[in-house]
Amino acid sequence: MYDLSRFSARYKQHIELPEGFTNNVDLNLVRDTRYLYDFPDEMPFAGDSALENRMNLTKNSENTHSSLDVDIYQNLIKVDPTGQNDLAIHRAPEVNYSLIPIKIWGPELLGLDVNYVNFTRAGKTFYDDPSVDYFAPATSKYRTGQRLSTRPSILIPFNFMECF
């Protein structure tokens, strides 16, 4: 008789798609967090704080890199090994765009990196302050949100040896 209440599943995929797109999937699933310690040969993640489950789609061209990522985590440091996963913070989606430095005028080069991430979780958007039973802006810590960062760059190449 098999015990179906405990299981693990791992899946990896790499597919080259038309038009320069690439798809990668890396799934690591367990029914209970103790599984990693009981069967370390099957799931070598014992001691990690979370299992990462990631899917992405990328496209590279001569001058650009674009990617769309989704990272869903399974919290491994919860008290109940089969309990809810509502404290895990996920990145869904994360969007990246990079412009490889290109000549704009004279020897100068222009580059650009843009990153957007949405941090989300199934539970509350914040950790409760144990001293109060409601959201307290001064002490409760947010665990969801969004981040947009841009990093433009101007590069001016020169020959260091010509300076002497």
pLDDT tens-digit profile of 100-148?
Answer: 888 877 788 889 999 999 988 876 666 655 555 555 555 556 677 899 9
Write the DSSP assignment of the chain as a string of letters. ---TTS-EEEEEEEEE-GGGEEEEEEEEEESSTTHHHH-TTT---TT-SEEEEEEEEEEE-SSEEEEEEEEEEEES--SSTTS--TT--EEEEEEEEEEEEEEEETTEEEEEEEEEEEEE-SS-SEEPPTT-SS--TTTPEE--EEEEEEEEEEE----GGGG-
Can you give the residue ranges of every domain in the chain?
8-77+88-163
pLDDT tens-digit profile of 14-66?
Answer: 999 999 999 999 998 888 888 888 888 877 777 788 889 999 999 999 899 99
Predicted TM-score (pTM) of the model is 0.73
